[in-house]
C-alpha cells in the first residue's frame, strides 16, 4: 500500500485496500472492547435486571452501530475517506474544521479515559496480587498510564500497517479473556442469582429505565463514528466491511458490556469491574487474566484512537505538510499524557459530561450524513471536491454549508429536549418510547434535507459534475450487488 495514502490526507485506492474480514473484525473489536465496557455495564445495573439489561444493552449498541455504520462506512469504503473529510459535503470545506475539532476532542477524551482507567485498575490489580504495597499512589497510576502511551506509540511507529496484524491478535486474545471472565461469573454465581438480582437504583417508571439502558447502548455505539472511517477505509470492499464491523462494534461490545452488568448486579461494590473479586476468588491465575485483559483491551483501543486522531490531524493540508506520520502520532498522544499527568482526577470526575458531549453531537452528525449521502447524492460524492481545497463543489458560502449547521442545531436541540445529557434525566415522556439519539439523528437529517432543497443553488451546485468512475453511469444506489 502507498504509505502516504494510508497515513495522510490522500485516499486509499481500492487496489491498495488489503484488509479482509478478519482484519476489519479484529480492529473494530479491538477498538470497542475496553474497561469502559465494565463501567457502562455497571451503570446499566442501576436501572434494570440482568435479563432485560443484557438484551437492552446489546440491542441498543446494535441500533447505535446501525446509525454510525450507515453514516460513516459507505463513504469510507467507496472513497477512502475518514471522518473529517467525509463531512465536507455536509458542512463545507471550512465547516469540516468543526468536525476536526469535534473528533480531536472526542478521541483525545476517549484515549485519556482509557489511559487513566488502565492506570487506576492496573494499580488496583497489582495491589490485589501483592505486587505493590499501595494502589492509590499517583505515581503508580501515572506510571502504568505512561507505559500504555509508550506502547501505543511504539505500535503505531511504523505506520498504520501495524493495525492489520495487531488488531486481530489483540481482539482474539481479549475475546478469550472475556470468555474466561463470563464463565467465571456464571460458575461462581450461577444464572439464577445473576438474573434474579434486582436493579441497584431504578427510577419509578420501568419503561424509562429500559429506554435509558437502550440509549446508553445507542449513544455508546454512535460514539464510534470517528473510528469507523479510519478503519473501514482499509477494507477490500464495502461488503467485506459490513458484517465484521457489526460483529466487532456491536455484538462483541454488547457481550462485554453484559459482563460489567452481571458483575455489578451480583457484587454491587465492584461497579461492574469483575477483576478484584475474581482475584479474591481465583487468586493469581485469574488476576493475571484480569490484568492481561485490561492491558490488551485498553492499549488496543487507544492504538486505534490515536491512529484515527493522527489521521484526522493530517486532513488539514497545512498540518499534513508539516507533520510526518510519527510526529502526528506523538502530537495525538501528548494531550493524553498531559491529562494523565496533570488533571486525571478532575477529568474523571467529569467523565459523564464528556460522554454526554459525545452523544449529543455525534447522533446529529450521523443523521445529516446519512441524509446527504443516500437521500440527496445517491452515494455519489465529488472526489475533487473532497480532496482539492480549491474546488468550488463543497465550498457553499465561504467554505461553510448553512444546511449542515442548521441540521446540527436541530439535532442537538432535539437531543436535549428528549434527555438531559448531563444528569441523564428524560425531558419529555416520549423519551421512554423513542430514546434521544434516534430522534436527534432523524431531526438532523430532516432539517438538512429541507434546508438543502429550500435554499436555491445549495444542492445543485454541490452535486457531482465530473464522472469519477467508469461504472458510475446513473443514480442507481443499492440496486445491484457489488460483486
> Residues interacting with another protein, by CB under 8 A?
2, 4-5, 8, 10-11, 13-15, 17, 49, 51-52, 55-56, 58-60, 62-63, 65-66, 69-70, 73-74, 77-80, 210, 214, 237-239, 242-243, 246, 250, 379, 383-384, 387-388, 466-472, 477-483
Beta-bridged to residue 425, according to DSSP, are 420
Q: Is 335 exposed, middle or buried (0-12, 13-18, 19+ CB in 10 A)?
A: middle
Residue closer to another protein by CB (options 423, 471) is: 471
Phi and psi torsions of 74, nearest 5°: -60, -45
DSSP assigned state of 426: E
Residue closer to another protein by CB (options 13, 461) is: 13
Residue closer to another protein by CB (options 211, 289) is: 211
CB of 292: closest distance to another protein in angstroms? Answer: 30
Residue closer to another protein by CB (options 275, 369) is: 369
Residue closer to another protein by CB (options 51, 283) is: 51
Taking alpha carbons only, the member of 173, 194, 201 closest to residue 26 is 173
Give me the sign of the Cα torsion angle 144, 149, 155, 161: positive
Residue closer to another protein by CB (options 116, 310) is: 310
Cβ atoms 30, 307 nearer than 8 A: no
Q: Which residues contact 258 (CB under 8 A, 6 or more apart)?
A: 41, 53, 54, 57, 58, 182
SS3 state of residue 200: coil
Residue closer to another protein by CB (options 2, 425) is: 2
Q: Residue 74 has which C-alpha cell?
A: 459507505
CA separation for the pair 478, 378 (Å, rounded): 9
Q: What angle is formed at CA 328 by the lines to CA 325 and CA 332, rounded to 5 degrees?
A: 140
CA separation for the pair 402, 448 (Å, rounded): 9
Q: Residue 410 has which C-alpha cell?
A: 436541530
CB of 21: closest distance to another protein in angstroms? Answer: 13
CB of 207: closest distance to another protein in angstroms? Answer: 8
Residue closer to another protein by CB (options 8, 174) is: 8
CB of 392: closest distance to another protein in angstroms? Answer: 15
Residue closer to another protein by CB (options 29, 339) is: 29
DSSP-assigned letters across all residues of 232-258: HTTBSSHHHHHHHHIIIIIIIHHHHHH
CB of 36: closest distance to another protein in angstroms? Answer: 21
H or E, element range at 419: strand 419-420
Count of H helices and E strands in the chain? 22, 2
DSSP-assigned letters across all residues of 295-363: HHHHHHHHHHHHHHHHHHHTTSHHHHHH--HHHHHHHHHHHHHHHHHHSHHHHHHTHHHHHHHHHHHHH
Residue closer to another protein by CB (options 62, 406) is: 62
CB of 418: closest distance to another protein in angstroms? Answer: 18
Residue closer to another protein by CB (options 186, 476) is: 476
CB of 378: closest distance to another protein in angstroms? Answer: 9
Beta-bridged to residue 419, according to DSSP, are 426
CB of 468: closest distance to another protein in angstroms? Answer: 6
Q: Is 219 exposed, middle or buried (0-12, 13-18, 19+ CB in 10 A)?
A: buried
CB of 245: closest distance to another protein in angstroms? Answer: 9
CB of 27: closest distance to another protein in angstroms? Answer: 17
H or E, element range at 420: strand 419-420
CB of 242: closest distance to another protein in angstroms? Answer: 5
Residues counted in the chain: 483
CB of 344: closest distance to another protein in angstroms? Answer: 35
Residue closer to another protein by CB (options 457, 481) is: 481
DSSP assigned state of 376: I
Amino acid at each position: 500500500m502507498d504509505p502516504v495514502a494510508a497515513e495522510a490526507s490522500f485516499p486509499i485506492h481500492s487496489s491498495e485496500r488489503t484488509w479482509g474480514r478478519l482484519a476489519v473484525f479484529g480492529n473494530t473489536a479491538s477498538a470497542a472492547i475496553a474497561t469502559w465496557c465494565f463501567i457502562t455495564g455497571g451503570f446499566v445495573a442501576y436501572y434494570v435486571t440482568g435479563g432485560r439489561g443484557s438484551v437492552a444493552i446489546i440491542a441498543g449498541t446494535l441500533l447505535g452501530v446501525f446509525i454510525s455504520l450507515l453514516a460513516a462506512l459507505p463513504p469510507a469504503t467507496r472513497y477512502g475517506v475518514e471522518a473529517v473529510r467525509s463531512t465536507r459535503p455536509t458542512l463545507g470545506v471550512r465547516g469540516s474544521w468543526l468536525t476536526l475539532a469535534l473528533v480531536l476532542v472526542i478521541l483525545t477524551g476517549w484515549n485519556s479515559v482509557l489511559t487513566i482507567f488502565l492506570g487506576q485498575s492496573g494499580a488496583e490489580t497489582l495491589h490485589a496480587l501483592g505486587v505493590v504495597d499501595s494502589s492509590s499512589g499517583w505515581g503508580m497510576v501515572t506510571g502504568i498510564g505512561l507505559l500504555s502511551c509508550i506502547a501505543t506509540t511504539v505500535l503505531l511507529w511504523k505506520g498504520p500497517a501495524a493495525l492489520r496484524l495487531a488488531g486481530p491478535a489483540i481482539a482474539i486474545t481479549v475475546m478469550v479473556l472475556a470468555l474466561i471472565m463470563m464463565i467465571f461469573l456464571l460458575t461462581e454465581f450461577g444464572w439464577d442469582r445473576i438474573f434474579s438480582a434486582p436493579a441497584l437504583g431504578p427510577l419509578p417508571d420501568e419503561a424509562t429505565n429500559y429506554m435509558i439502558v437502550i440509549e446508553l447502548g445507542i449513544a455508546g455505539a454512535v460514539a464510534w463514528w470517528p473510528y469507523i472511517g479510519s478503519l473501514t477505509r482499509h477494507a477490500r470492499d464495502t461488503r467485506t466491511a459490513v458484517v465484521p464491523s457489526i460483529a466487532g462494534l456491536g455484538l462483541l461490545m454488547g457481550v462485554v458490556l453484559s459482563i460489567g452488568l452481571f458483575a455489578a448486579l451480583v457484587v454491587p461494590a465492584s461497579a461492574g469491574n469483575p477483576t478484584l473479586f475474581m482475584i479474591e476468588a481465583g487468586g493469581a491465575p485469574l488476576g493475571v487474566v484480569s490484568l492481561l485483559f485490561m492491558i490488551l483491551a485498553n492499549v488496543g483501543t487507544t492504538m486505534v484512537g490515536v491512529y484515527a486522531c493522527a489521521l484526522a490531524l493530517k486532513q488539514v493540508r497545512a498540518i499534513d505538510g508539516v507533520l510526518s506520520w510519527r510526529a502526528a502520532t506523538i502530537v495525538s498522544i501528548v494531550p493524553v499524557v498531559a491529562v494523565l499527568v496533570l488533571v486525571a482526577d478532575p477529568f474523571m470526575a467529569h467523565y459523564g459530561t464528556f460522554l454526554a458531549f459525545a452523544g449529543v453531537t455525534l447522533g446529529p452528525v450521523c443523521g445529516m450524513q446519512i441524509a446527504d449521502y443516500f437521500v440527496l447524492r445517491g452515494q455519489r460524492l465529488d472526489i475533487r471536491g473532497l480532496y482539492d481545497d480549491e474546488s468550488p463543489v463543497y465550498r457553499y458560502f465561504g467554505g461553510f454549508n448553512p444546511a449542515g449547521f442548521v441540521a446540527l442545531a436541530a439535532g442537538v436541540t432535539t437531543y436535549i429536549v428528549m434527555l438531559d445529557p448531563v444528569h441523564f434525566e428524560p425531558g419529555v415522556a416520549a423519551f421512554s418510547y423513542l430514546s434521544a439519539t434516534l430522534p436527534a439523528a432523524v431531526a438532523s437529517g430532516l432539517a438538512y434535507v429541507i434546508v438543502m432543497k429550500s435554499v436555491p443553488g445549495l444542492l445543485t451546485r454541490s452535486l457531482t459534475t465530473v464522472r469519477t468512475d467508469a461504472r458510475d453511469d446513473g443514480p442507481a444506489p443499492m440496486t445491484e450487488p457489488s460483486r
